Structure 1
Amino acid sequence: MATTGKHTQLNLLQRIWLEVLWQLARFFAILPYWFKYYVVETLMFVLLCYCLRYRRSVVNRNLRNSFPEKSERERAVLRRKFYWTLSELFIDTVDLAHMTPAKGRRILRVKGLEEHLSKIGGRDWIAMTAHFGCWEYCSFWSIYAPSQIVVAVYHPLESRLADAFYRRLRDREYATPVPMRESLRFYLRNRETGVGGRNMVMGLIADQNPPKRPDSHWFRFLNQDTIFFDGGEKLALRCRLPVYFVKMDRVRRGRYEMSFEKIYDGEEEVADNVITERYVRILESEIRRRPELWMWSHKRWKYKRNVSR
């Protein structure tokens, strides 16, 4: 494991449950594609959408505020499509428990691979993505570029058991998970030698809801004032790293296509918040293109901007 410390320590009962969960996930992951994505996914959809009505009020509010121009019927159709995405994400995530390079290539294809490798030129770089489609598949990048390893920056979960389970899912030969609070130190400590002699791709899911600070910068995003994590921008400017938005486009159930859009070349002189602003604009464009793939159940707008009178 790439992470250590108090948060990762489990007691005996938690370790037992972790192994039980892991073996169940491994068993589920080897089941036939049709069973996972047509039988289990359908059952998950009915459970989340109609039985549990999982965070229905949050989803409704987010869709209403983000798409005021849509009718109630249009938003209802979009909500239903989102619950299909959420159900599929459950399958995609558990499926990571049994992953091989061959399986990864079936699940994910990369558009413009040679062009992107040429632009990167063997350097470290920052991959900024979002809770859009199956973001976990971004870790498969190293299957196509063995000289690089994805450093999956994540926010630790409150439950130690759940956190350990997710780290085990993500900690593979092609990716290593690192807590957000340790990501800068991790990169500075390893940038000379890399990780196992491999160049680093700092993978950041940058659309999460950061704590509100007095100096927080607000962006207009989906018709709402919104704050974003700026760690990717700070790392890019401090270490002169190129930044790319990693797009994940769903092709069919459990199958995605990855592509890249440059945000920052690592050399351009830019003002504060410009890199994050570019990220926000690309993300908003992707959401408007395929809104059902974004995570509408997140309480993304918990904080409101103080408007001075």
Structure 2
Amino acid sequence: MIKKGFSHIGIFFLSILSLLPLPVLYFFARLLYYPLYYIIGYRKAVVRGNLVKSFPEKNREEIINIEKTFYKYLADLIFEIVKMGSISKKELRKRVKFHNLEAIETYFKKGESVLACTGHYCNWELSMLALGDAASATEYVIYKPINNEVFENWFNKIRTRFGNVFVAMRQTLRAIIATKDTPTMFCFASDQTPVKHETQYVLEFLNQRTAVLLGLEKIALQTNRPIFYFEVKRVKRGYYEVEVMPLCLNPKETQGHEITDLLFEFLEKTIKHEPAFWLWSHRRWKYS
């Protein structure tokens, strides 16, 4: 009961905070960066370890530069997500631009559905919110529920403001069956770590053996829906461009794990281009 009370208080203050313009929120973000990095050192050992293992060719100075840029961006990301609670469609359209979205719309016009995938890179949350407004068909985002029910309900309310539907990971197949007669886009952020005892496939990703989820590939093979990769790029502070790229248009013609391999090839290329904007604080490599 006490925990729920504190959660409601926290949500109240975040809702008030979201009403402030982004330039003001960025001022708070820069203030947050210093304790986040220098005093608290939030998951600093995890971030440093991930970077060192992922980029063995980089020296200490290069790693620290990426690390500092990541923490500055993490502070920005926190306040950009807070702003999602009140951001208008007009401002959202100005801040997130899509390229080649018509490739997906072609399928919708024929009454067909597609699958989309991305990673936890740049502001994936803001991009998914903008996609709900930009795409003509309903977008179903597959997500992993958090433990705090109060915060999850509040967060999902924000995420679904412009037509998105959020589906818990274990309910994916049920949602696909329920919408099989309607053009839809199911979106997967596939760079999460599977439960250890459920791991079915391991690949090479960022110079490390990496256990990966196979949900996207399994759904693609069952439905033969074309898959598109969403590459998010940060143009400048608070502004993003999303390139819609075909990953696999005929899943049933692929060989075993080819789709998953392709996804992580695309994601690795994205990360290596500008490393600081991936979620390095995530404990991605919990086990070998």
Once residues 267 and 88 of structure 1 are traced to their aligned partners in structure 2, the CA distance between those partners, rounded to angstroms, is 37
Q: Corresponding residue for 2:123? A: 134
Q: Displacement, 1:216?
A: 1.9
Q: Corresponding residue for 1:221? A: 205
Once residues 92 and 124 of structure 1 are traced to their aligned partners in structure 2, the CA distance between those partners, rounded to angstroms, is 30
Pick one of 222, 230, 237 that aligns with 1:246: 230
**SS in structure 2 of the partner of residue 300 of structure 1:** coil
CA contact (8 A) 2:199 2:212 kept: no
Pick one of 65, 70, 73 that aligns with 2:53: 65
Once residues 155 and 98 of structure 1 are traced to their aligned partners in structure 2, the CA distance between those partners, rounded to angstroms, is 24
Q: Displacement, 1:217?
A: 1.5
- In structure 1, list runs of 5 or more residues that go unmatched: 1-10, 305-309
Cα distance change of structure 1 residues 13 and 66 upon mapping to structure 2, 3 Å threshold: closer
CA contact (8 A) 1:18 1:165 kept: no
**SS in structure 2 of the partner of residue 109 of structure 1:** strand
* Alpha-carbon RMSD: 1.9
Q: Corresponding residue for 2:16? A: 27
Cα distance change of structure 1 residues 266 and 24 upon mapping to structure 2, 3 Å threshold: farther
Q: Is the counterpart of residue 276 in structure 1 residue 266 in structure 2? A: no
Q: Displacement, 1:18?
A: 5.2
Once residues 105 and 112 of structure 1 are traced to their aligned partners in structure 2, the CA distance between those partners, rounded to angstroms, is 15
The letter for the 2-side match of 1:221 is F
Within 5 Å, give how 1:153-302 maps onto structure 2: 153-192=142-181, 194=182, 199-213=183-197, 216-266=200-250, 268-302=252-286
TM-score by length of 1: 0.87
TM-score by length of 2: 0.93
Once residues 160 and 128 of structure 2 are traced to their aligned partners in structure 1, the CA distance between those partners, rounded to angstroms, is 13
The letter for the 1-side match of 2:143 is Y
Once residues 7 and 50 of structure 2 are traced to their aligned partners in structure 1, the CA distance between those partners, rounded to angstroms, is 34
**SS in structure 2 of the partner of residue 210 of structure 1:** coil
Q: Displacement, 1:127?
A: 1.1
Once residues 243 and 162 of structure 1 are traced to their aligned partners in structure 2, the CA distance between those partners, rounded to angstroms, is 31
Cα distance change of structure 1 residues 49 and 188 upon mapping to structure 2, 3 Å threshold: same
- In structure 2, list runs of 5 or more residues that go unmatched: none
**SS in structure 2 of the partner of residue 245 of structure 1:** strand
The letter for the 1-side match of 2:229 is F
Cα distance change of structure 1 residues 64 and 93 upon mapping to structure 2, 3 Å threshold: same
Q: Is the counterpart of residue 303 in structure 1 residue 287 in structure 2? A: yes
CA contact (8 A) 2:116 2:185 kept: yes
Within 5 Å, give how 1:60-139 maps onto structure 2: 60-118=48-106, 121=109, 122-136=111-125, 137-139=127-129
Moved more, 200-209 or 103-112: 103-112
**SS in structure 2 of the partner of residue 174 of structure 1:** coil
Identity of aligned residues (%): 28
Q: Displacement, 1:157?
A: 0.8
**What number of residue pairs does the alignment pair up?**
286
